[in-house]
């Protein structure tokens, strides 16, 4: 896979996940303002399902490409709980129906996904080949 494409996907994933975390953290405070601003679509379940599905596909593809290069599971340690949190936040009624609990869950998950992308980016593109490398050059 093209290293530039992999780097771009990780950067897009990190930025998108951080935007998601910010969106989820602020949503309870601006929920009443969104329809007045013509942005009510950002507060719908359909938008949330689509965004979480897109973030999942992007993260899995990006981290898989990175893993094939660096062979380290560290980024998955952030991605898996992040994905579990965001999917739980939209699928489990006890997390989805309470605005504050939902916002905290989604913010936590989005932040973990963003960290996973940043870790993957560092592992993939910050690697220095030296005598301690575990792979062949």
Share the mean pLDDT of the chain: 82
Q: What is the pLDDT of residues 93-117, one digit of tens each?
A: 999 888 889 888 988 998 899 899 8
pLDDT given at position 56: 93
pLDDT on residue 78: 96
Question: Shortest CA distance to 27 belongs to which of 93, 110, 87, 91?
Answer: 110
Alpha-helix runs per DSSP H in the chain: 3-30, 33-36, 45-70, 76-91, 93-96, 99-125
Report CA torsion sign: 122, 123, 129, 131: positive
pLDDT beneath 50: ranges in the chain: 137
- The distance between the two most distant Cα atoms of the chain, rounded to a whole number of Å, is 60
**Selection from 91, 22, 28, 27 nearest residue 56 by Cα:** 91
Burial state string for 13-40 with b = 16 or more CB within 10 A and e = fewer than 16: bbebbbebbebbbebeeeeeeeeeeeee
Structure tokens at 65: 């490409």
Token pair recorded at residue 83: 């994905």
C-alpha 62 chain-centroid distance: 11
pLDDT (0 to 100) of residue 8: 82
pLDDT for the residue numbered 41 = 62
Q: What is the pTM of this model?
A: 0.72
What does the pLDDT read at residue 90? 93
Quick one: DSSP state of residue 39?
-
């Amino acid at each position: 896979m093209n290293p530039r494409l992999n780097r771009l996907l990780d950067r897009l994933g990190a930025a998108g996940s951080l935007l998601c975390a910010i969106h989820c953290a602020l949503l309870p405070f601006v929920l009443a303002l969104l329809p007045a601003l013509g942005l009510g679509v950002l507060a719908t379940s359909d938008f949330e399902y689509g965004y979480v599905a897109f973030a999942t596909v992007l993260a899995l593809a990006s981290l898989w490409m990175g893993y094939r290069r660096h062979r380290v599971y560290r980024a998955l340690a952030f991605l898996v709980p992040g994905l579990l949190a965001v999917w739980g936040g939209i699928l489990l009624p006890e997390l989805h129906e309470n605005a504050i609990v939902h916002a905290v869950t989604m913010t936590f998950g989005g932040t973990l996904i963003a960290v996973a992308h940043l870790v993957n980016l560092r592992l993939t593109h910050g690697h220095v080949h030296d005598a301690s490398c575990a792979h062949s050059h």
